[in-house]
Structure 1
C-alpha cells in the first residue's frame, strides 16, 4: 500500500510538471529551492518569481503572431497589462521589458504612469488605455497626461457624461474608445454589466456625442465579460454581438480601427488544469477576420488587457504548520503561522482555490486535514483542493516542521488584502521576497518588504 505524500500526488496528478519538480523529497518551483527560501528568510513569506511575468507575456504574443500569420490578418496585436492586478513597481518594471502597453482603472494609476514616463520605462510609443468610471480626479489626471504631450492616452468612455468632462479639460483634439456593457451569463445576479454603454445605445451615442465633434475621434471599441475568455457558447455569442456593433460603427466612423477584447485568460489553479490558449487565440482571430470580411470592413487592431495572466503565476506564499488541533474524532486542524483572510483574501471572499502543495517531507505518510488561520474569525480556513474536495498533507509531527506553499497567487491578493496596512486581528503582513535570475541564469533573491511589526500597526492606529 502506498501511503506517502509523494505517492498521493503521483497517483492523483501528472507529476512532475513544468514549474513543479521534486529534489531530495522537497518541492522545487521553477528550479527554486523553496526550503532554501524558508531557511534564509523564515516563514510566513510571500514571493514573486519575476521571470514568469515575461514568460507569459511572450507566450501570448507568440500565440497571436501565429494566428495573425495563419489567417493573413491585416492588422496588429497589442498586449496591455491590466495594472489593477498588481501595481507594484517590480511587476511593471518586468512587464515593460516586453514591448507592451498598459491599462489603468483609477486616478492614481495615472500618477504611476507619469513616474514610469519620467524614468523612461514608458515612452510616447506606449498606449495608456484608461478604463473605469471617471470622475473629477481621474479626468483631471488623464487631461494632465494628454496636455503634457502623451497622445497615446486613450480614455475608454464608460458613461454618457465622460466625453463632455474630458472635453472641458483636454486642450487639443483627442481620441477615445467606448466600452460595451456586455450581457452577463444567465447564472449572474444581474443581466447587464454596470460597466460601459449598452449594445443598442452605442451607435446612437456616437452619432450624438462624437460624430460631428471636431475635438473627439473614436478609435476603439472595448469588450469584456466577467467569465473571461472561455470556449463556451456564451463567450462566442457575446463576441459576435460585439463584432456586430464594431461593423455598424465602422461603416459610419472611419477613425474606428481597434477592438479591445479585454482580459480573462485563466491561470493554473490546480495540477489538473488544462486550457488550450493557442486554440482560443486562433479562433478569436479567425472569428474577427471572417466577420469583418463578410461585412466588407477592414479588420481592427486587436488589444488585450491581461492582468491575472500576466502576474498571477509569478506569485506564491509559504506557511509553516504550527500546531494540530483535534476538535472531534474526525477533523484535524492544521494551524498555519498566518491568516488566509489577510494574505489570500480571495480564498475567503470568493472561495477561490490556488495550487497548494507541501514544501517538504514528501517521503512521509499523509493524512486528511483542514487548514486554519490565526485570526479569531470562523471564516479563516481553507478546506479543499480544487479537484479533491479535501486537503491531504504529510502527517503532523511536532518534532518535524512542515511547510506548505500556495502558488499562482500573484494577482490581486496584496491590494485586496491591504498591503502594508491594517490586517484582520492585527496579524502581521508576511515578509515579501523578489526572485529573479542574473545574466548567468542563476537564481537571485532579495527582500522587498519585511514582515510588519507592532510599531507599524500602532502608527496607523494613531497611538
Structure 2
C-alpha cells in the first residue's frame, strides 16, 4: 500500500522537477542539499539562491528574442528589473550581470541607482524607468539624475501636475513616458486603476501639455494591469485598447517609439504550475505588430518590468515543526518555529500560496495538517496548497524532527514584513543565507544576516541605546 509521502507526491505530480529533486531521502533545491543548510545554519532561516535570478532573466530575454525573430519584428526589446520586488544589493548585483535596465517607484530608489553608478554596475546608457506617484523628493532626485547626464532616465507621468514639476527642476530637454490608467477586472472594488491617466484623456493631455513643449520628448507609453500577463479575454482586451491609444498617439507624436507592457509574469506557486511563457510572448509581439501594420505606424521598442518573475523563484524559507496540537477530532496543528505573518506576510495579507514541501522524512507516512505560526494571532496560519484545499506532511513524531520549506518567496516578503524592524509579537526575523555558484560550479553559502536579537528590538522600542 502506497502510504509514504513520496508516494503521495509521485501520484499527484510529475516529480522530480527541474529545481526539486530527492537525494539521500532529503530535498534538494537546484542541487543544494537543504538538510546540509539546516545542519550548518539551523532553522528558521531564509535563503536566496542567486543564480536563479540570472536564469529567469535570460529565459525571458530568449523568449522575446525568439518572438521578435519569428514575427520579423523591426524594433528592440529591453528587460527592466522592478526594484520594489527586492531592493537588496545582492539581488541587484546578480540581476545587473545580465545587461538589463531598472524600474523605480520612489525617491530612495534613485539613491540606489546613483550608488550603483558609482560602483560601475550601471551607466548613463542604462534605462531608468521612473514609475509611481511622484512627491517632491522623488521629483528632485529624478531631476538630479537627469541633470547629471543620465539622459536614459525616463519619468513615467502619473498625473497632470508632474510635467510642470519636472520642467521646473530639469535643465534642458528630457524624455518622458505616460502611464495608461487601465480598467480593472470586474471583481475589483473599483473600475479604473488609480495609477496613470485614463485612456480617453491621454491624447488630449499630449496635445494640451506636451505637443508644443520643446523641452519634453514623449518617448514611451506605459501599460500594466494589476492581474499581470494572463491568457484571458480581459488581458487581451486591455492590450488591444492600449494599442489603439499607442497608434493614435504615434500618428501625432513622432518622438514616441516605445511601449512598456509592464510586468506580471506569474511564478511557480505549485508543483502543478503550468504557464506557456513562450506562447504569451509570441502572441503579444504578434498582436502589437498586427495593430501597428493595420494603422500604418512603426512598431515600438518593447520594454518589460519584471519584478516577481526576476527574483521570486530565488527565495525560500525553512522552518522546523516544533509540536503538534490536536484541537478536535479532525484538526491537527503543526506549530512552526517562526511566524507566517512576519516572514511570509503575503500568505495572510492576500492569501498567496507558495510551493511548500518537507525537507526530510519523505519515506515516512503522511497526514493532513494545518500549519500554525508562533504569534498569538488567529490569522497566523497556513491551511491549504494551491493545487488542493489541504496540506499533507510526514506524520509528526517528536523523536524525529521535521523541517518544511516554502519556496519561490523571494519577492516582496522582506519589505512587506519590515525587514530589520519590529515584527508582530516581537517574533525575530530569521537568519538569511545567500547561496551562489563559484566559477567551477560548486555551491557556496554566505551568512547575510543573523537572526534578530532581543537587544535589536529593545533598541527600536526605545528601551536601550
Determine the structure 2 residue equivalent to 1:136.
Answer: 136
Cα distance, 1:454 vs structure 2: 0.2
Structure 2 segments unaligned to the other structure (5+ residues): none
Hey, what's the Cα distance between the residues in 2 that align with 1:81 and 1:401?
39
The residue number in structure 1 matching 2:457 is 457
TM-score (norm 1): 1.00
Quote how far apart the aligned CAs of 1:330 are. 1.2
- Provide the residue aligned with 1:393 in structure 2: 393
Q: How does 1:346-365 map to 2 (within 5 A)?
A: 346-365=346-365
Within 1, Cα distance between the matches of 2:259 and 2:388?
A: 40
Stretch of structure 1 that moved more, 323-332 or 300-309: 323-332
Runs of 4+ in 1 over 3 A off after TM superposition: none
Using the TM superposition, give the Cα deviation of residue 397 of structure 1 relative to its aligned residue in structure 2, in angstroms: 0.6
Q: CA deviation at 1:135?
A: 1.1
CA distance in 1 between counterparts of 2:388 and 2:7 reads 15
Displacement of 1:329 = 1.4
Question: Is the partner of 2:262 in helix, strand or coil?
Answer: coil
The aligned counterpart of 1:383 is: 383
Matching of residue 240 in structure 1 with residue 240 in structure 2 = yes
1:100-139 alignment runs, 5 A limit: 100-139=100-139
Partner-residue secondary structure (3-state), 1:155: strand
Q: Superposition pairs for residues 50-449 of structure 1, below 5 Å?
A: 50-449=50-449
- Name the CA distance, whole Å, in 2 between partners of 1:227 and 1:428: 32
Cα distance in 2 for residues equivalent to 1:9 and 1:170: 58
Q: CA deviation at 1:124?
A: 1.2
* Cα distance between partner residues in 2 of 1:227 and 1:324: 37
- Secondary structure of the corresponding residue to residue 73 of structure 1: coil
Q: CA deviation at 1:387?
A: 1.0
Distance 1:124 1:111 in 2: 15
Find the counterpart in structure 2 of residue 6 from structure 1. 6
Question: What is the alpha-carbon distance in structure 2 between the residues aligned to residue 240 and residue 350 of structure 1?
Answer: 29
Instruction: Give the C-alpha shift of residue 50 in structure 1.
Output: 0.3
What is the aligned partner in structure 1 of residue 26 from structure 2? 26
Shift of 1:233: 0.8
Paired residue total: 463
Supply the distance in 2 between the matched residues of 1:135 and 1:32 (Cα, whole angstroms): 44
Q: Deviation per CA, 1:374-408, whole angstroms, max 9, x where unpaired? A: 00000000000111110010011111000000000
Note the residue ranges of structure 1 that are not aligned, 5 or more in a row: none
User: 2: distance between equivalents of 1:349 and 1:135?
Assistant: 27
Query: What SS is found at the alignment partner of 1:251?
Result: helix
Deviations 1:237-269 (A, max 9, x none): 100100000000000000000000000000000
Alpha-carbon distance in 2 for matches of 1:177, 1:107:
18
Show CA shifts across 1:417-453 (max 9, x none): 0000000000000000000000000000000000000
CA–CA distance in structure 2, aligned partners of residues 459 and 113 of structure 1: 30
What does the per-residue CA deviation read over 1:329-371, in whole Å, with 9 as the maximum and x for residues that have no partner? Answer: 1111000000000000000100000000000000001011100
Aligned-partner SS, 1:235: helix
Deviations 1:114-152 (A, max 9, x none): 000000001111000000000100000001111111111
Superposition TM-score, scaled by structure 2 size: 0.99
Give the superposed CA RMSD: 0.5
User: Any idea what the Cα deviations from partners look like across 1:242-301, whole Å, max 9, x if unmatched?
Assistant: 000000000000000000000000000000000000000000000001100110000000
